[in-house]
Amino acid sequence: MCAQSRIARTARIAVVGSVNMDVVSQVTAFPLPGETVHATATVFHGGGKGANQAVAAAAAGAGVEFIGAVGDDAFAAPLADGLAARGVGIAALARKPTTSGQAFITVDATGQNTIILSAGANGQITAREVEAAQAQIAQADALLTQNEIPWEATFAALTLAHRAGVRVIANPAPAFEPPSEAYPFIDALILNEIEAARLTHHAVVTIEDAEQAARDLLERGAREVIVTLGALGSLSLSAEGRRIETPIFPVNVVDTTAAGDTFIGMYAVAATEMDAAQALRFATAASALAVARPGAQESIPTRAEVEAFLRQAETR
């Protein structure tokens, strides 16, 4: 039996984070300051880093509970229904008297993107609301957090999970340097090269740069640091000294939106059953499939698709 088929279908993941309506426009090239360009198409997709990671974890076979908020606008019901339809529990999804979160995304001809966030209801999530979902967090195998909701709410989630002995996987995106007291609560810090540079105040371009950044973040108290580097793959370092480089799977890039979220959600589930190297390979394959498709949650592959992709890769 191949390693990737051993992902536990019963893994339990709690996600505290954002859910947005993504307004995605395709362009030939990004506009310069002051320039107007025509979009070749505009579509609406469910998104938000928290929601994307929750959908990825559910697609990998986990039972997922999402803790977040939508507004009272026309986007609220489609966002909630979209999560539920993809197997994500929404009992702790609050409704706020404001707009739902929105992300205005532009994708160019190479598949690269720019994103402008409007927090809406995501910006009103409180620590008290997170604490009210203590049971969902305490019963999880892992908690996933990001930086698209107020830090006070995120830190409350980290604290609850740490006290309950739940593995904490933190994604400091958009880039934000957590207070020093947060790092000892983090079991796995997953970030890209831009975020790693922002947190360490040093450019991260090469694998060697990523290793130095990871060592810096481990010294702050995180127990594992995974730096993703686009075409260079990823580097994982643990506090025990384990070092893993994982190369990418070459694919035709269509849209990089949600690639990192797919990696994180899939890794969270894979790590409950596989060793670190196998889990990283599984997550890397999942993100490769995601970038070969348009959209955010729509681009996230199922576990069966990832397994099939890996079987094909092993025969090449």
Pair of tokens at residue 252: 């035709």
**pLDDT score at 1:** 38
231 found inside a domain: yes
Q: How far is CA 153 from CA 58, 157, 176, 212, in A?
A: 23, 6, 14, 30
**pLDDT score at 254:** 87
Helix ranges restricted to H, the chain: 49-59, 76-85, 127-132, 134-138, 151-164, 193-200, 207-219, 259-270, 276-291, 303-315
Q: Hey, what amino acid is at 25? A: S
169 found inside a domain: yes
36 found inside a domain: no
CA dist 33 and 20 (Å) reads 26
Pair of tokens at residue 208: 């060697």
CA dist 73 and 80 (Å) reads 12
**∠ CA 311-270-68, rounded to 5°:** 130
Burial group, residue 268, by CB count within 10 angstroms (0-12, 13-18, 19+): buried
**pLDDT score at 128:** 96
**Catalytic option among 187, 255, 261, 275:** 261
CATH classification of the domain holding 167: 3.40.1190.20
**∠ CA 156-264-275, rounded to 5°:** 105
34 found inside a domain: no
Contact 111, 253 (CB under 8 A): yes
Non-local (6+) Cβ contacts of 17 within 8 A are 48, 49, 50, 51, 53, 54, 66, 67, 68, 122, 144, 145, 146, 148, 149, 154
25 found inside a domain: no
Give the residue numbers spanning the domain of 152. 9-19+48-98+125-315
CA dist 291 and 254 (Å) reads 6
pLDDT, tens digit, for every residue of 7-47?
Answer: 444 799 999 999 999 998 999 999 999 999 999 999 998 99
CA dist 59 and 150 (Å) reads 27
Report percent pLDDT > 90 for the chain: 87
26 found inside a domain: no
Q: Judge whether 141 counts as a catalytic residue.
A: no
174 found inside a domain: yes
**pLDDT score at 5:** 44
41 found inside a domain: no
Domain count, the chain: 1
Specify the DSSP class assigned to residue 271: T
Low-confidence ranges of the chain (pLDDT < 50): 1-9
**pLDDT score at 10:** 79
**pLDDT score at 295:** 78
Pair of tokens at residue 211: 């290793």
Q: Is the dihedral of CA 61, 275, 300, 189 positive or negative?
A: positive
